[in-house]
Structure 1
Amino acid sequence: MGEIWDRVTAVQPPPSTSVLALTAAVAAALVLVPGLWPVARHAVTVAHEAGHAVVAALTGRRLTGIRLHADTSGLTLSRGRPRGPGMALMLLAGYPGPAVLGLGAAALVAAGRSVLLLWVLVAALALMLLLVRNLFGLWVVLAGGVGAWAVSWYATPDVQTAVACTLAWFWLLAAPRTVLELAVSRRRAGARTSDADQLATVTHVPAVVWVAVLLVVTVAAALAGTAILLPDVVAQVSGGPPNG
């Protein structure tokens, strides 16, 4: 336990600009390359459903299970009032989930806490494992947890930092893409069962407004995460003095 605590609380030097640039390029490839995105998107679905689950628990709803499917869709099941603030907040939490996770990851990476980020992911996925109700979902969550643990325990500090940086960039970049996919799917498909459409039913605010809100939130999170990871670059672009 002492060794685990030492690893979790270890502080590493913040990543260099070259490492940040390289990991950003890797994350962008995972989000933009057609052959990679369908696989990488499972990590977004996990964060999406975790967002639903966390807010459902915080608002007093009873969680009954999470399902993750091979087509990268997911479903979080809960019991409670079918309308009202709790239901609306739970529905609203899904798409910003990866963005919030990316922001938190960026803050930990910038503070030299890459290993702590990996262990937080291990703990969160272990809890999520208790809620998953289908075999494919169990495999996805278990594979993610084992991967994060293996990197935190066996990889060198440089590799740990690189992996943490890639995860932060990936969630920050992936969150807006999923909202854009939502907008496209709503335009093409006849069915209206998305989070935005369910929010429209609960709140009587048009779904297109909720899609716009989700896009603004995720893009703002991506910009804020970039400012956390690359403060000097952002300062130069904005015309301000570099930090430090």
Structure 2
Amino acid sequence: MNWRGLLDALLVRLGATIGAGRPVVPGWPPGALALAVLSVLVPPVWRVIRPVVTLVHELGHAGVGLLCGRRFSGFVISPDMSGHTVTVGRRHGPAVVLTAVAGYPMPALVGAAAIQAAVGGHAGAVLLAVLLILLGVLVRVRSLFTMAWVVALAAAVGALWWSGTPRWSAAAVVWLGAVLVVGAWRHLVAVAVHGDRDQDPGALARLTGVPAALWCLVMAVPVAACSWWAWRALAGPLGPLLGGALR
């Protein structure tokens, strides 16, 4: 294997990723957005892509837990596509509450940020960041199923980052961002309707004495704000098609 050639190619690809910045506004955003909505609403497709939303949900718990001084011990994505994250620290207090609240809004936050970056011409940087995060969290995986799923996702993201054109990379990132935003709503509405006490709102209710329904409303606020952010980020690409109604 020509390691020098591979290293040179890697440096060139990194330079192209870091140097990108020209807004990419072809005709792909409407199609990517429509496909994302269908991906979340069509049950067979949703079963395949749901782990993406679950993964961001669980890493949201982990990331906020770390910021609050807790220790991230590990996470699992189950074959039924649910997930579980373990952070270690005090069993009561603001850090526990913030860590628990973070899960459901995090996919919407990440999705909106990804859409904003893609519209601004930084889809390659998003793909590289996702790849590095996936590789980094492998040491915290606590099941073979989770390991296989994260490795497969990292391989797909890495291949797209390495060989994808700016247009395809941007379309993929907009699709992924929209899936995360719409998926965040689907997850939150599902837990609010079914009232599963084992989910985050139920756990917060037991921890604080505040009803789970109110915690669902608290989580809905940042999800709504991130949805608006994503919508506004797409105003430029979608505006001409909708006669400027988004502006």
Q: TM-score higher than 0.5 here? A: yes
**Which sections of structure 1, spanning at least 5 residues, go unmatched?**
none
CA contact (8 A) 1:103 1:172 kept: yes
Q: Which moved more, 1:9-18 or 1:44-53?
A: 9-18
When residues 12 and 182 of structure 1 are mapped into structure 2, their CA distance, relative to the original with a 3 A threshold, is: same
Give the match for residue 200 of structure 1. Answer: 205
**Corresponding letter in the other structure for 1:224:** W
Once the 2 structures are TM-superposed, how far is the Cα of residue 113 of structure 1 from its aligned partner? 0.3
Give the match for residue 34 of structure 2. Answer: 25
Supply the distance in 1 between the matched residues of 2:150 and 2:217 (Cα, whole angstroms). 30
Q: Which moved more, 1:50-59 or 1:210-219?
A: 210-219
Give the match for residue 221 of structure 1. Answer: 226
- Counterparts of residues 85-96 of structure 1 (less than 5 Å): 85-96=94-105
Once the 2 structures are TM-superposed, how far is the Cα of residue 10 of structure 1 from its aligned partner? 3.3
CA contact (8 A) 1:56 1:62 kept: yes
- Counterparts of residues 85-164 of structure 1 (less than 5 Å): 85-164=94-173
CA contact (8 A) 2:119 2:170 kept: no
Alpha-carbon displacement from aligned partner over 1:198-242 (angstroms, at most 9, x marks no partner): 11122221110011122232122112111012247399336xxx5
Aligned pair 1:236/2:241, yes or no?
Answer: no
TM-score by length of 1: 0.90
Supply the distance in 2 between the matched residues of 1:15 and 1:21 (Cα, whole angstroms). 14
Aligned pair 1:34/2:15, yes or no?
Answer: no
CA contact (8 A) 1:28 1:170 kept: yes
Once the 2 structures are TM-superposed, how far is the Cα of residue 124 of structure 1 from its aligned partner? 0.9
CA contact (8 A) 1:196 1:207 kept: yes
Supply the distance in 2 between the matched residues of 1:71 and 1:85 (Cα, whole angstroms). 31
**Which sections of structure 2, spanning at least 5 residues, go unmatched?**
1-9
2:54 to 45, 48, 59: 45
Give the match for residue 193 of structure 2. Answer: 184
**Corresponding letter in the other structure for 2:244:** Q
Once the 2 structures are TM-superposed, how far is the Cα of residue 12 of structure 1 from its aligned partner? 5.5
CA contact (8 A) 1:10 1:115 kept: no
Supply the distance in 1 between the matched residues of 2:243 and 2:129 (Cα, whole angstroms). 30
Supply the distance in 2 between the matched residues of 1:193 and 1:126 (Cα, whole angstroms). 29
SS in 2 for 1:86: helix
SS in 1 for 2:221: helix
When residues 235 and 224 of structure 1 are mapped into structure 2, their CA distance, relative to the original with a 3 A threshold, is: farther
CA contact (8 A) 2:32 2:171 kept: yes
**Corresponding letter in the other structure for 1:167:** L
1:78 to 84, 87, 111: 87
CA contact (8 A) 2:26 2:167 kept: no
Residue correspondences, number: 235
Give the match for residue 64 of structure 2. Answer: 55
Supply the distance in 1 between the matched residues of 2:115 and 2:219 (Cα, whole angstroms). 20
Alpha-carbon displacement from aligned partner over 1:29-70 (angstroms, at most 9, x marks no partner): 111111111111110000000100101111111111101111
Identity, % of aligned pairs?
31
TM-score by length of 2: 0.89
Give the match for residue 5 of structure 2. Answer: none
Q: Which moved more, 1:89-98 or 1:169-178?
A: 169-178
SS in 1 for 2:244: helix
